[in-house]
Amino acid sequence: MDERPISPALKASALVMFIFLLAPLLVVLPISFSGDAYMAFPPSSWSVKWYGAIFADKQMTAAFSVSIALALVVTVLSLLIGLPAAYALVRLKPPGAEALGSLFTAPLLLPTIVLGLAILLVFAPLGLLGTFQGLVAAHLIVTLPYAVRVLSTALATLPIPVEEAASTLGAPPLTVFFRVTLPMMRSGMVSTAALCFLVSFDEVVLSLFMTGPRISTLPVAMYHHVEQQADPMVAALSVLLVFLTLAVVVIVDRTAGLAKTFVK
């Protein structure tokens, strides 16, 4: 790269903008240790009571379990459905493969508010609103495009001769897939899983349409909580969420390389 010095004006403006970008995340940590009964910054006293409050809040803990279970189920299903689809599109190249690929990633182009409404109108008469299955279906619609896209890229960059070598050595197609293709796709699979997990775990808008009094996800519960009272418990929760995200990212980095997954 070039050794061009960066002008002080650029440095200063970049610094200001970075502070602006990170400000909301930075204030959350001190607030989570607030000892006040309401949110104020800076807090007038310090404690860890709001972390305790999370675990005492039945609704929050229930929503948290729902979110984790939902994200796990959605991730597994995304891989199970996305991988065969990516394989068919990239390797078997049926006529119209490109059009099909666009169709399968099209849900991402739709604003979630519109998609949420569209799904609501169809799922309501089916009795899927406020059910776990309904949430799974709704989340799959937005995670599958990511899964197909990342897995397709992973498949397209695999060296085909390696699979052909296995086949000439006597491995039938399914054996080639499980013994050679799949192990070589490991990093692509990990990236896909992490992406699907995070997308599902963070999804708010679709979930807002799908949840009801009987079932809620963590982001939806937090949304409603903030809507009513923005107390420091949400900050404590946010800190936990940031760490959870961080854990996922570290796992991806260890197994697949962060740069390869998110920066292309």
Partner 1 sequence: MSAIALPARSARRIGPTGVVMLLLLPIALVNAVGFLWPVVNLLRMSFKETQATGALIDTVSTATWATVLSDSFTLDLIANSVGVSLFITLLTLVASYPIALYLHRSTGLWRTILLVLVIAPLLTSAVVRTYGWIAILSSQGLIANALLFLGITPPRLMFNLTGVVIGLTEILMPYMILALLSGFGRLDPRFEEAALTLGATPWKTFWRVVVPLTAPGMALGCLLCFVLAISSFVTPKLLSGGRVFLLATEIYDQAIVTLNWPVAATLSMIVLVLFGAALALYTRALRRIA
Partner 2 sequence: MIRTAPDEMAGLKQGEGFLSLRGLTRRYGPFVAVDDFNLDVAKGELVAFLGPSGCGKTTSLRMIAGLVPSSSGHIVVNGREITEVPPYRRDMGLVFQSYALFPHMDVARNVAFGLEMRKVAKADAAARVREAIAMVRLTGKEHHRPSELSGGQQQRVALARALVVRPSILLLDEPLSNLDAKLRDEMRNEIRDIQKRLGITAIFVTHDQMEALTICDKVVVMNHGRLEQVGTPLEIYEHPKTAFVAGFVGRINRLAGTASGGIAEAAGVKVAAPGFTGPVEVMVRPHRIVLSAGAAPAGGDLHQLSGTVARATFAGDILEYEVEAGGVLMKTEAATRGGETVHAPGTPVTLSWRPQDTFVYTAS
**Residue numbers at the binding site for partner 2 (CB under 8 A):** 159, 161-162, 164-173, 175-176, 179-180, 183-184, 186
Nearer to partner 1, 180 or 198 (CB): 198
57 binds, among partner 2, partner 1, none (CB under 5 to 8 A by kind): none
Total residues at interface with partner 1 (CB under 8 A): 85
Q: Does 250 bind partner 1 (CB under 8 A)?
A: no
Q: What are phi and psi of 40, to 5 degrees?
A: -150, 150
197 binds, among partner 1, partner 2, none (CB under 5 to 8 A by kind): none
CA torsion sign for 96, 84, 162, 183 is: positive
Q: Quick one: three-class SS letters along the chain?
A: CCCCCCCHHHHHHHHHHHHHHHHHHHHHHHHHCECCCCCCCCCCCECCHHHHHHHHCHHHHHHHHHHHHHHHHHHHHHHHHHHHHHHHHHHHCCCCHHHHHHHHHHHHCCCHHHHHHHHHHHHHHHCCCCCHHHHHHHHHHHHHHHHHHHHHHHHHCCCHHHHHHHHHCCCCHHHHHHHHHHHHCHHHHHHHHHHHHHHHHHCCHHHHHHCCCCCCCHHHHHHHHHHHCCCHHHHHHHHHHHHHHHHHHHHHHHHCCHHHHHCC
Binding to partner 1 in span 102-161, by CB under 8 A = 103-104, 106-107, 109-115, 117-122, 137-138, 140-141, 144, 148
CB of 174 vs partner 2, minimal distance in Å: 10
CB of 154 vs partner 2, minimal distance in Å: 14
Q: Does 40 bind partner 1 (CB under 8 A)?
A: yes
CB of 52 vs partner 1, minimal distance in Å: 19
Sketch the per residue contact string, 191 through 230, with partner 1: x for CB under 8 A, - otherwise: -------x---x-xx--xx---------x--xx--xx--x
Choices 24-32, 52-60, 154-162, 184-192; region in contact with partner 1 by CB under 8 A: 24-32
CB of 165 vs partner 2, minimal distance in Å: 4
Nearer to partner 1, 49 or 91 (CB): 91
Q: Does 20 bind partner 1 (CB under 8 A)?
A: yes
